[in-house]
Amino acid sequence: MALLQIAEPGQSAAPHEHKLAIGIDLGTTNSLVATVQSGEAKTLTALDGTVMLPSVVRYHQNDIEVGAQAQQTSAQDPTNTLISVKRFLGKTQQEIEQRYGQLPYEFVKTDSGLAINTVAGPISPVQASAEILKTLRIRAEQSLGGDDDLQGAVITVPAYFDDAQRQSTKDAADLAGLKVLRLLNEPTAAAVAYGLDSGQEGIIAVYDLGGGTFDISILRLHQGVFEVLATGGDSSLGGDDFDSVLVDVFKSQTNIHDLNAHELRLFINKAKACKEALSSYESVNVKLELREQSHTVTISRDEFAQLVMPLVKTTLRACRRAVKDAGVSNEEILQIVMVGGSTRMPVIREQVEAFFAKQPLTSIDPDRVVAIGAAIQADILVGNKPDSDMLLLDVLPLSLGLETMGGLVEKIIPRNTTIPVAKAQEFTTFKDGQTAMSLHVLQGERELVDDCRSLAKFSLKGIPPMAAGAAHIRVTFKVDADGLLSVSAMEKSTGVQADIQVKPSFGLSDDQVAQMLKESMSNAKEDIQARMLKEQQVEALRVLEALEVSLATDSALLNEQELAQLREQMTLLASAKEQAQSPDEIKNAIERVDAASSEFASRRMDISIKQALQGQSVDEV
Amino acid sequence: MRYFELFDVPVDYNVDLIKVNQQYLELQRVVHPDRFAGKGEREKLLAVQKTAEINDALAVLKHPVKRAEYMLGERGIDIRAEQQTLQDPMFLMQQMELREALEELPQSDDVEGAIEQFEQQVKTLDIEFSQQLAELLSSDSENDLHQAADNIRKLKFVYKLRDELARIEDSIFD
């Protein structure tokens, strides 16, 4: 093993094989992309030199504008300019209207869920998010240049995002043509950026208040391991809500309450500017010109602080619960890391400092810190740093449960369980000859189904007919490292695998994503076949390279025959990669290599587990 | 006792949690799916399964009730899904009194002091049952194991009290 890893610290083993990987912070207000170059993480700029891409998408009949230009014209074209769509991911119209009140959009229901009517037709929050991601992908490809392909991206999500919101983010990445290496929680990404910088050990808290979401995470840093102990927050509380407090003030001061879409966007934009100005000035005059009148509203920093105090208190309550869930005390917390543009507000800094009795850290730009952490993780995931000790252990933010009799929720996996996690639960039939059963999966902390978020309804079919109570159906819930849920079910006595029909309550089915992807490609006149072929070729190369590395050290784990079989499949894959005309041919060859190497993989894992334990006991002697 | 073996620690209710945590991190370093990001699908799947198993083992060993239930289950007495209730009038009476005291807590003159005192009571009970458990679970006698089962049931009551106290605390200070 050591032979392969001779390299200077901080350098990859083979610098010329540096793989391109990016980290993307898909924010409510702004989005940005970063990468690691020559061992240093940096944010990438657009052609005009800006780093931040306003998360604003304006739809024209035959064109789409993303970023600053779309933002500047938002008050002129409010209904076609989609702003802060991250808040709408994985939500229903009712939830959005209840939560955010008046918005300048016309919501419609489509086959693929909620959409907003624009001149370009109904656009889902996933599609709009995909446009933002696509813009960043193109920025990265242009500025990184070269012939190398982008290997993938780490995309950050609020830690408190539920399964529907995470799945929507992943769908958006697929639509944008990005391979997702990992969905990474924003506070964890920030901790990585800070932790690696300071080399500190111990417990830290990350307070992350963005444009539309709030997260608090408590982490333990120990020898490169970032272990999330607890997380909490509110995935629909952010800077936008502070703006909306000011919008209400404007409304009452001007005595104009029946705003149209243009006026509402004007008020929101003025509110945002006023809020930002209050971070530097004690008092701000806001001029509102509408309906041929001019109004001036004056707001002082103290007044503003008082108005938003209920919002600030909400975040502090979440902090208290997270600290408690983590099983630590405020005194044990070494540092408070501030993330997100909204933490620039003096009232936030003061209140957080008072709560933790410690001055929060703001040394890295709160707007960039998340993207930088994501880039560092992406760099490691594609294998640019084989010596890295870094490991991120994250948790499930909200409990997962099933609906039981009487509209109650039975928790299967409690919140703050370290992921990945798998839990099985047994159910039985309650009627003779019953062959189907339906399950309702929910996420949330409350006891009633109506108070939790509905994730999916599953029907288990093909249960062998038996007497009531005789069939034992084992339902397994799996949450992967991205925090995404999958469910499988089996009847135990017969071993019959029950069919599962997944009906996502929110988001898109795989087929819908594939369909949208096809449509978007044909619009852009990209050759989908060529693109998929290319993707499979990259994948094949990756699989072969990874196996060669493993075989170089551990081929002794296989006997001659096994080794020969594996080698044969690898040779077949190598030639398929060069000669195949269809992506499926390569895909099948990859699957055969996978099958031929599965025993090898399992033995390697057993050996490394043994070594890990022995290494530990040797250290202690 | 697979979970104990997994972390290479002796089978004992008084488990060395510091050692378990150390071993846990060492194991995660080699099995976590992020270590397999560039590998084949099967290897990734295997990594997810192993990691989930290790995470589950840690959760069980860390939690006093789950740990006891697991140890008892491995010795043939599975009470994890039981509906059976406890037959101990004295204990149940005491629990009822504690519950009543808990409900009156928010109205007390010195709420924080009352909470602290209640916490102390719960802690004393916790220690009492846990200490007995360690002995009972290391015994070979069938009778002792059934005694252990009863102890676990009592411990569950104690943990419920603790959760309830936390909930009340939350509602007071929110």
CB contact under 8 A, A383 and B55: no
Active site residue A303: no
Across the interface, of A182, A383, A597, the residue whose CB is closest to B38 is: A383
CATH superfamily name and code, B3-62: DnaJ domain (1.10.287.110)
Q: How many Cα atoms occupy the beta-carbon half-sphere of A35 within 13 Å?
A: 24
- Say which residue, A473 or A396, is predicted with more confidence: A396
pLDDT of A420 over the 80 cut: yes
Q: What is the pLDDT at residue A55?
A: 96
DSSP letter string over B46-101? HHHHHHHHHHHHHHHHHSHHHHHHHHHHHTT---TT--PPP--HHHHHHHHHHHHH
Kindly determine whether residue B37 and residue A225, on different chains, have CB atoms separated by under 8 Å.
no
Supply A599's token pair.
Answer: 């025993």
Catalytic residue among A208, A263, A379, A403: A208
Tell me, what's the pLDDT at B37?
Answer: 81
Output A46-54 pairs: Cβ under 8 A, ≥24 positions apart.
Answer: A46/A139, A47/A142, A51/A368, A52/A367, A53/A132, A53/A135, A53/A136, A53/A139, A54/A29, A54/A30
pLDDT at A182: 94
**CA distances to A23, A153, A482, B5 from A528, in Å:** 25, 20, 27, 51
User: Any chain A CB within 8 A of the CB of B21?
Assistant: no
Give the pLDDT mean for B144-168: 88
What pLDDT, on a 0 to 100 scale, did the predictor assign at position A538?
82
Question: What average pLDDT is seen over chain B?
Answer: 87
In tens, the pLDDT along A48-98 reads 889 999 999 999 998 999 999 999 999 899 999 999 999 999 888 888 888
Residue B148's φ and ψ, nearest 5 degrees, are -60, -40
Does the pLDDT of residue A458 top 90, yes or no? no
pLDDT of residue A198: 66
- How buried is residue A174: exposed, middle or buried, by Cβ count under 10 Å (0-12/13-18/19+)? buried
The residue of chain A with its CA nearest to that of B45 is A480
From A425, which residue of chain B is nearest by alpha-carbon distance? B81
Residue B3 binned pLDDT confidence (cut-offs 50, 70, 90):
very high
A499: confidence class by pLDDT, cuts 50, 70, 90: low
Residue A86: active-site member: yes
Which pLDDT score, from 0 to 100, does residue A96 have? 87
Q: Write down the pLDDT at residue A351.
A: 96
- Asked if B52 lies within 8 A of A380 by C-beta distance, the reply is no
- At A504 the pLDDT is 58
Over 60: is that where the pLDDT of A11 sits? no
| pLDDT at res. A7 | 41
Interchain contact, B25 vs A608, CB within 8 Å: no
**The token pair that represents A288 in the structure block:** 């509102």
Cβ distance A543 to B32 less than 8 Å, yes or no, reads: no
Amino acid A436: pLDDT: 82
Contact A225 B8 (CB under 8 A): no
Q: What angle do CA A164, A195, A27 make, to 5 degrees?
A: 35
Cα–Cα distance between A401 and A579 in angstroms, integer?
48
- Which of A613, A614, A618, A621 to mutate: most B Cβ within 10 Å? A613
CA distance B116 to chain A (A): 15
Provide the residue ranges of all domains of chain B, joining segments of one domain with +: 3-62, 89-173
CA A88 – CA A66 distance, rounded (Å): 18
Which has more pLDDT, B68 or A490?
A: B68
Which listed CATH number (1.20.1280, 3.30.420, 1.25.40, 1.10.287) goes with B89-173? 1.20.1280
Cβ within 8 Å, pair A389-B173: no
User: Is the model's pLDDT at A103 over the cut of 90?
Assistant: no
Q: Which of A382, A389, A602 is closest, CB to CB, to B46?
A: A602
Q: Which residue of B has its CA nearest to A223?
A: B25
Query: pLDDT at residue A4 above 90?
Result: no
pLDDT value, residue A134: 95
Task: Report yes or no: B29 at the A interface, CB cutoff 8 Å.
Answer: yes
Per-residue pLDDT, averaged over A315-320, amounts to 93
Distance of CA A466 to the CA centre of its chain: 43
A243 pLDDT more than 50: yes
In the set A65, A77, A86, A367, the catalytic residue is A86
The catalytic residue among A163, A171, A174, A186 is: A186
Q: What percent of chain A has pLDDT over 70?
A: 90
B50 — contact with chain A (CB < 8 Å)? yes
Residue A19: the pLDDT is 85
Contacts of B26 in chain A (CB under 8 A): 612-613, 615-616
d(CA B47, CA B26): 14
Pairing of strands A453-461, A499-504: antiparallel
Q: Which residues of A touch B41 (CB under 8 A)?
A: 591, 594
Is A25 noted as a catalytic residue in this protein?
A: yes
Q: By the CB < 8 Å criterion, does B82 face chain A?
A: no
Strands A150-157 vs A180-185: parallel, antiparallel or unpaired:
parallel
Report which DSSP code applies to A368.
T
Residue A330 CB-half CA count within 13 A? 12
| A364-381 per-position pLDDT tens digit | 888 999 999 999 999 999
Q: What are the structure tokens assigned to A200, written together?
A: 């500190």
- Chain A to chain B Cβ contacts (< 8 Å): 114
Strand bridging mode A150-157 / A20-26: parallel
pLDDT over threshold 60, residue A239: yes
Torsion angles phi and psi, residue A413, rounded to 5:
-125, 115
Least confident of A83-87, A97-101, A576-580: A97-101
Residue A494 pLDDT: 74
Q: What span, in angstroms and rounded, lies between the C-alpha atoms of A500 and B33?
A: 25
Q: What ipTM does the predicted assembly reach?
A: 0.84
Q: Is A208 an annotated catalytic residue?
A: yes
More confident residue, A487 or A400: A400
Q: Provide the pLDDT for residue A406.
A: 79
Predicted local distance difference test score (pLDDT) of residue A526: 53
Under the banding of pLDDT at 50, 70 and 90, the label for residue A267 is very high
For residues B93 and B129, the answer to whether their CB atoms sit within 8 Å is: no
pTM attached to this predicted model: 0.85
Give the model confidence (pLDDT) of A164-220 as tens digits: 899 999 999 999 989 999 999 999 999 999 876 667 789 999 999 998 889 999 999
8 Å CB contact of A613 and B8: yes
B25 interfacial to chain A (CB closer than 8 Å) = yes
**A443/A451 Cα distance (integer angstroms):** 9
Q: How far is CA A155 from the centre of its chain?
A: 6
Residues of A within 8 A of B37 (CB-CB) are 181-182, 381-383
Q: B26, A422: Cβ pair inside 8 Å?
A: no
Mean of per-residue pLDDT scores for chain A: 86
Calculate mean pLDDT across residues B72-80. Answer: 85
What is the per-residue pLDDT for A580?
87
pLDDT of A30 > 50? The answer is yes
Predicted confidence (pLDDT) at residue A9 exceeds the cutoff of 50: no
Contact A419 B42 (CB under 8 A): no
- The pLDDT confidence band at residue A433, using thresholds 50, 70 and 90, is confident
Alpha-carbon distance B94 to nearest alpha carbon in chain A (angstroms): 28
Q: Tell if the CB–CB gap between B25 and A223 is shorter than 8 Å.
A: yes
Which of A249-258, A451-460, A556-565 is the least confident region?
A451-460
Best residue in B4, B26, B53 to probe A by mutation, most A CBs within 10 Å? Answer: B26
